């Protein structure tokens, strides 16, 4: 689909500076913009590219004043970031949607499939499963016995959802996600071997959750592992059995949450964070990359490092321990001088 600068300005309540008839059919970054693309300037450090970009149209803030000639058409708007989000959502909604149920899919007679669903090649839907309206199941997905998937959810190729698990409405599960594998539970025996502890619970994923590729969420030993509404998990995240993640919490790649821990709502957890078992993390907590959490964290607190320290304490400590090599050298010099004085 093509849009003119005048049409876009009308949609965004913006003002055109330049050719109102300039057309675009795609979106790009400002430094990689090509003819026919809509670019945007949200970060002042990229301003240099607005004078050289080949993008046909660039969105800028109302306050932007060029320091030299601009060849492209500008659209001035109140909030560039929000306008870009709105345009991307519109563009995504206009993309063709897959439909129909493949003859190569295997759907149990005891399963329920809602209207307007797409089910791709070699996808398996087992006995008692309930697939809501407008669900998209891409090829090679597995939906186990008595699984429930809410309407409007999109599940990409290769996702596996074990028996009894529940996925809410309007969720997105990217390729390789595994929901409901057994929790890591083993009891040591006298002979040094381990007895497997049955994992009899399930996983509940509430509405509007997005799970990145190859993320795994284990079923509970009893009761449920719960991912609350609005949670966004990146790729390669491990959520242990009986964990609960609060609403609208965001986690970056390679985070690991051990069994029976709880993370509050509206938290931000950066990449490669590890959380020990039976730990409680409050609401609106921020945790820096590679931090190890082995103790409870209160609401609104910040943690860095391993073992984790409060934010300002960590930064003060870092200012000291990065100087330790120089301090050690000075200490050795003092020791040498002291030895000579003692002689």
- C-alpha to C-alpha distance for 216 and 204, rounded to whole angstroms: 13
Q: Say whether 308 sits in a helix, a strand or coil.
A: coil
Alpha helices (runs of H) in the chain, residue ranges in sequence order: 5-12, 80-94, 311-321, 324-342
Residue 110 has pLDDT above 90, yes or no: yes
How confident is the model over 333-339, as a mean pLDDT?
88
- Residues with catalytic function: 241
- Per-residue model confidence (pLDDT) at position 15: 95
Beta bridge partners of 203: 225
Query: Can you give the pTM of this predicted structure?
Result: 0.84
How confident is the model over 96-107, as a mean pLDDT?
94
Tell me how long the chain is.
343
H or E element in which residue 40 lies: strand 37-40
CATH topology of domain 3-94: 3.40.1390
Q: Contact at 8 Å (CB) between 73 and 56? A: yes
- Per-residue model confidence (pLDDT) at position 96: 82
Local confidence band at 281 (pLDDT 50, 70, 90 cut-offs): very high
Local confidence band at 305 (pLDDT 50, 70, 90 cut-offs): confident
- C-alpha to C-alpha distance for 181 and 221, rounded to whole angstroms: 11
Residue 323 has pLDDT above 90, yes or no: no
Local confidence band at 22 (pLDDT 50, 70, 90 cut-offs): very high
Radius of gyration of the chain (CA): 27
- Per-residue model confidence (pLDDT) at position 23: 94
Residue 116 has pLDDT above 90, yes or no: yes
- C-alpha to C-alpha distance for 207 and 332, rounded to whole angstroms: 61
Residue 41 has pLDDT above 90, yes or no: yes
Domain boundaries, the chain: 3-94, 100-315
Residue 309 has pLDDT above 80, yes or no: no
How confident is the model over 259-266, as a mean pLDDT?
98
pLDDT in tens, 216-243: 999 999 999 999 999 999 999 999 999 9
- Per-residue model confidence (pLDDT) at position 95: 77
- Per-residue model confidence (pLDDT) at position 307: 74
Task: Please name the residue that has the structure tokens 């690991």.
Answer: 256
CATH entry 2.160.10.10 includes domain 100-315: yes
Q: What single DSSP character describes residue 47?
A: G
How confident is the model over 131-140, as a mean pLDDT?
98
- Per-residue model confidence (pLDDT) at position 194: 97
How confident is the model over 126-138, as a mean pLDDT?
98
- Per-residue model confidence (pLDDT) at position 200: 96
């Amino acid at each position: 689909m093509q849009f003119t600068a005048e049409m876009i300005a009308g949609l965004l309540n913006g003002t055109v500076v330049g050719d109102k008839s300039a057309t675009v059919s795609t979106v790009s970054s400002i430094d990689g913009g090509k003819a026919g693309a809509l670019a945007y300037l949200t970060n002042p450090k990229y301003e240099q590219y607005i004078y050289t970009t080949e993008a046909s149209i660039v969105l800028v803030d109302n306050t932007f004043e060029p320091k030299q000639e601009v060849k492209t058409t500008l659209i001035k708007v109140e909030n560039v970031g929000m306008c870009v989000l709105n345009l991307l959502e519109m563009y995504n909604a206009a993309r063709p949607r897959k439909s129909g149920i493949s003859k190569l899919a295997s759907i149990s007679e005891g399963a329920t499939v809602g209207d307007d669903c797409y089910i791709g090649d070699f996808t398996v839907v087992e006995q008692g499963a309930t697939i809501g309206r407008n669900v998209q199941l891409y090829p090679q997905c597995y939906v186990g016995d008595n699984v429930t998937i809410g309407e409007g959810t999109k599940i990409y190729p290769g996702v596996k959802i074990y028996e009894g698990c529940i996925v809410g409405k309007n969720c997105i599960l990217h390729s390789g996600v595994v929901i409901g594998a057994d929790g890591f539970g083993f009891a040591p025996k006298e002979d040094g071997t381990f007895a497997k502890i049955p994992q009899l619970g399930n996983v509940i994923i509430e509405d509007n959750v997005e799970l990145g590729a190859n993320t795994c969420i284990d079923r509970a030993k009893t009761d449920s592992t719960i991912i609350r509404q609005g949670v966004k998990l990146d790729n390669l995240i491990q959520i242990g059995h009986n964990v609960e993640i609060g609403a609208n919490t965001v986690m970056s790649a390679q985070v690991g949450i051990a069994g029976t821990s709880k993370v509050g709502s509206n938290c931000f957890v950066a990449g490669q964070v590890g959380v020990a078992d039976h730990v409680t993390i409050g609401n609106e907590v921020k945790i820096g990359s590679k931090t190890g959490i082995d103790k409870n964290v209160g609401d609104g607190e910040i943690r860095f490092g391993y073992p984790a320290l409060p934010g300002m304490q960590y930064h003060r400590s870092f200012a000291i321990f990065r100087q330790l090599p120089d301090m050690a050298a000075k200490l050795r010099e003092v020791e040498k001088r002291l030895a000579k004085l003692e002689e």
